Amino acid sequence: MSNATAPATEAPDPSGAPLHVAINMDGNGRWAAARGLPRAEGHRRGVEALRRVVRAAHELGILYLTIFSFSSENWSRPASEIGDLFGLLRRFIRNDLATLHSDGVRVRVIGERDGLEPDICALLNEAEELTKGNTRLNLVVAFNYGSRQEIAHAARRLAREVAEGKRDPQSIDADTISRYLDAPDIPDPDLIIRTSGEQRLSNFLMWQAAYSELVFVPIHWPDFDKTALEEAIAEYARRERRFGGLAAKTGS
Ligand code: FPP
């Protein structure tokens, strides 16, 4: 995801539609607890919400949808819950990949692959390979992802180039770092949504969020649907994005 410095050409679409929406799908556990259900059921219903939102995203003309499906910090959860989340990812790819492909969805994955089980890596690679020619919607799955880790990884690669004499440290600016992140060709998110009422980024796209509009919605992820997405987009469309400059119409 590039253009962190947001040149003027990245001004919002006049129709008010965000090109790139990123979602922190929070609240599965609380949704389940409120119903006396196991947390795994909250995650399972979370996958159903994800299916609805992928469909809604292409209906609403969104070109990039990034979802936070497993964070670098989620390893601190009980092994049984980690197993449930990995199982859901396996089933999601096995059951939904053909439909995503026929719907013109390109699947991209960001995050650390090292250390993941080989079958998970194989499924992620298969999803990316099969769908790489699709252009209708880019579904960017942040899996085993953390912004700090992503930025540290970029810094390591750059430091190595400097140590090998291949790069002048003076050449490193914000655009260079953007180009060394996990998906440098994907534009920064216009809108980041977090469900369940929590109001923080939690290590999600922190570099790319420099000029994103943040919308926090009170409902838990399993209840999220097309209407909730439309409401978040309507809130986004009411915001004035200045990218550190002046207001477009008033100049104030
Ligand atoms: C946050 O809810 C959600 C997660 C940690 C994982 C999100 C995963 C899914 C929606 C399903 C799996 C995704 C794919 C792509 C198959 P939480 O557990 O932190 O909820 P809580 O804060 O209420 O406990």
Q: What is the atom index within ligand 1 of the atom nearest the CA of 141?
A: 15
What is the distance in A from the centroid of ligand 1 to the CA of 160?
Answer: 35
| CA dist., res. 95 & res. 74, Å (int) | 24
List the domains of the chain with CATH numbers. 20-238 (3.40.1180.10)
Per-residue 3-state assignment (H helix, E strand, C coil) for 179-208: HCCCCCCCECCCEEEECCCCCCCCCCCCCH
3 state DSSP class of 178: helix
Spell out which residues line ligand 1, taking CB within 6 angstroms. 25-30, 43, 46-47, 50, 69, 74, 85, 88-89, 92, 141, 196, 221
Q: pLDDT tens-digit profile of 195-222?
A: 999 999 999 999 999 999 999 999 999 9
Considering 24, 26, 96, 182, which one is annotated as catalytic? 26
Mutate to test the pocket of ligand 1, among 69, 100, 201 (most ligand atoms within 8 A of CB): 69
Q: Which parts of the chain register pLDDT below 70?
A: 1-15, 248-252
Per-residue model confidence (pLDDT) at position 36: 98
**How far apart (Å, rounded) are the C-alpha atoms in residues 168 and 164?**
10
Torsion of CA 246, 62, 237, 13, to 10 degrees: 40
pLDDT of residue 9: 38
For residue 74, what are the contacts with CB-CB under 8 A and spacing of at least 6? Answer: 82, 85
pLDDT tens, residue by residue, 105-126: 999 999 999 999 999 999 999 9
Q: What is the pLDDT of residue 249?
A: 59
Q: Can you give the pLDDT at residue 15? A: 65
Q: By C-alpha distance, which of 69, 126, 68, 134 is closest to 100?
A: 134
- Residue 226's nearest CA partner among 58, 111, 81 is 58
26 noted as active-site residue: yes
Position 252 scores a pLDDT of 43
The reported pLDDT for the residue numbered 157 is 98
Nearest CA to ligand 1 atom 3: 26
**pTM (global) more than 0.85:** yes
Centre of ligand 1 to C-alpha 27, Å, is 7
Which has the closest alpha carbon to 191: 42, 37, 16?
16
Catalytic annotation on 74?
Answer: yes
